[in-house]
């Protein structure tokens, strides 16, 4: 008869020792209040947000590198890597295409661009025009770094992944001689997860400073300016998360409650900082704790940062049609559904060049408008409220990538349901200590 692990109920947390998620939410609210009451101070504390993001960025390269090397070289089956890559890219393409067409449906239903005047700040458009989205060929060439040190300095996740996969294959091929390297990477990954725990202690201050700056700079009035577009985007994001990701989770038998509990912290961090990178280390940690093997987390999640931007692709669909609707009053040209579909097909390709482009989504939008002869002044109109929309699309990007790791793990038959059942309980801490994973045990003790 199999031994069953009975999860004991978690100890009640004292009110004066809130969980990290609660601390982050408190920081979010206090930051917003500070930015509203004293906009000057809201701008002064912005440097705290930069400190937090810099510390997070310092984690990404060693964490992704060590996790991927352990997962691929430690597993010993390189065929699994290729199969997993094909499955991941197929899943990415299907889900992001669905996101595009949800955005298209909502923007045509709500018509947020009707009656909006396209008055632009030409300098903002000019600054964006200096960049350009990468073509498909440029994106493929960009994947392979000339210098991995330079890639790590710039935090180019896709190039780090490419180098790590090839490096892991070489380590695996060396067998016994590669074991010291594998042991080093194993120790490095544990240290980086522990380091992530230390950095996360600063998260409430960092996200609070980010919110204070947003409210202090934009003011609450920006919430009402072009409110219809903002509301339409969040409605579309909500539908995508609940209907699409919810259906995918049910089909793949992902434990939804445990999944939501796991992703709440990286989701809130991404929302407050408008940075997917800031949530990456924590997201990788919690997905491993949820039962996704390290090799799948280490490969799928960083790759998804370039190919699985669900929130960003949905936003691009809505923003491009929004500009077309706003331009109709002055140009008299109506963009029919057929032309909109052609635009969506174009975005399916061009949105894959989002990685490593400053103000990526707006740059892609600018290129799309120029391609379809729409006024680029629309980008400057959106520019003023972009940060508010960026919060939603970035957090959904993180949520979608976390879901992708769980889906691919289930697809590969490697999702650990037993570990998922005990996520965030004392039983998880006991299991981690038994398996020699003190970093995860500490995270389980303090993060939930």
Instruction: Report pLDDT digits (tens) over 239-277.
Output: 999 999 999 999 999 999 999 999 999 999 888 888 787
pTM: 0.72
Place of tokens 């120790």: 187
- 274-302 pLDDT tens trace: 878 788 888 999 999 999 998 888 888 88
> 160 Cβ partners below 8 Å, 6+ apart?
60, 61, 64, 65, 145, 148, 151, 152, 302
- 343-388 pLDDT tens trace: 888 777 666 645 444 456 776 777 677 777 777 667 766 766 777 7
Whether 76 has a pLDDT exceeding 60, the answer reads: no
> 280 Cβ partners below 8 Å, 6+ apart?
56, 60, 63, 157, 266, 301, 302, 305, 398
- Cα-only R_g, the chain: 22
Looking at residue 433, its pLDDT comes to 57
The domain locations on the chain are 20-415
Q: Give the DSSP letter string of 88-154.
A: HHHHHHHHHHHHHHHHHHHHHHH-TTTT------HHHHHHHHTS-PPPHHHHHHHHS-S-HHHHHHH
Choosing among 3.40.50.620, 1.10.3860.10, 3.30.429.10, 1.10.10.10, the CATH entry for 20-415 is 1.10.3860.10
Provide mean pLDDT across the span 187-200: 83
417-427 burial, b at 16+ Cβ within 10 Å, e below that, comes to eebbebbbbeb
Whether 88 has a pLDDT exceeding 50, the answer reads: yes
């Amino acid at each position: 008869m199999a031994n069953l692990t009975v999860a004991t109920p978690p100890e009640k947390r004292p009110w004066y020792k809130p969980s990290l998620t609660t601390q982050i939410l408190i920081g979010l609210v206090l930051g917003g209040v500070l930015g509203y009451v004293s906009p000057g101070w809201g701008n002064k504390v912005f440097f705290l947000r930069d400190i937090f993001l810099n510390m997070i960025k310092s984690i990404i390269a060693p964490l992704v590198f060590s996790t991927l090397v352990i997962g691929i070289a430690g597993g010993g089956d390189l065929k699994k890597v290729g199969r997993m890559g094909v499955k991941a890219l197929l899943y990415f393409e299907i889900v992001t295409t669905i996101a595009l067409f949800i955005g298209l449906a909502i923007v045509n239903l709500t018509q947020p661009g009707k009656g909006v005047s396209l008055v632009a700040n030409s300098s903002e458009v000019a600054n964006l025009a200096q960049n350009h989205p990468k073509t498909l060929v440029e994106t493929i060439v960009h994947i392979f770094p000339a210098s991995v040190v330079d890639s790590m300095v710039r935090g180019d996740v896709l190039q780090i992944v490419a180098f790590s996969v090839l490096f892991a294959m070489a380590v695996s091929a060396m067998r016994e001689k590669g074991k010291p390297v594998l042991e080093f990477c194993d120790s490095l990954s544990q240290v980086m997860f522990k380091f992530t725990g230390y950095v996360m202690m600063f998260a409430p201050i960092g996200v609070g400073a980010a919110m204070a700056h947003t409210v202090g700079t934009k003011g609450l009035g920006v919430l009402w300016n072009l409110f219809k577009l903002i509301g339409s985007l969040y409605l579309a994001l909500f539908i995508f998360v609940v209907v699409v990701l919810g259906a995918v989770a049910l089909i793949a038998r992902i434990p939804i409650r445990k999944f939501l509990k796991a992703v709440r912290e990286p989701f809130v961090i991404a929302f407050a900082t408008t940075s997917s990178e800031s949530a990456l280390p924590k997201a990788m940690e919690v997905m491993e704790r949820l039962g996704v093997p390290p090799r799948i987390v280490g490969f799928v999640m960083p790759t998804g940062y370039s190919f699985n931007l669900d929130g960003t692709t949905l936003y691009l669909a809505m923003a491009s049609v929004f500009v077309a609707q706003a331009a109709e009053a002055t140009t008299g040209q109506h963009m029919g559904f057929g032309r909109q579909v052609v635009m969506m097909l174009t975005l399916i390709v061009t949105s894959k060049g989002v990685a490593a482009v400053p103000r990526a989504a707006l740059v892609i939008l600018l290129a799309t408008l120029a391609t379809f002869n729409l006024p680029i002044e629309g980008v400057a109109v959106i520019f003023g409220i972009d940060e508010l929309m960026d919060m939603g699309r970035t957090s959904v990007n993180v949520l979608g990538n976390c879901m992708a790791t769980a889906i691919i793990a289930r697809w590969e038959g490697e999702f650990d349901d037993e570990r998922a059942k005990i996520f965030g309980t004392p039983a998880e801490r006991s299991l981690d200590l038994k398996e020699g994973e003190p970093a995860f045990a500490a995270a389980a003790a303090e993060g939930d």
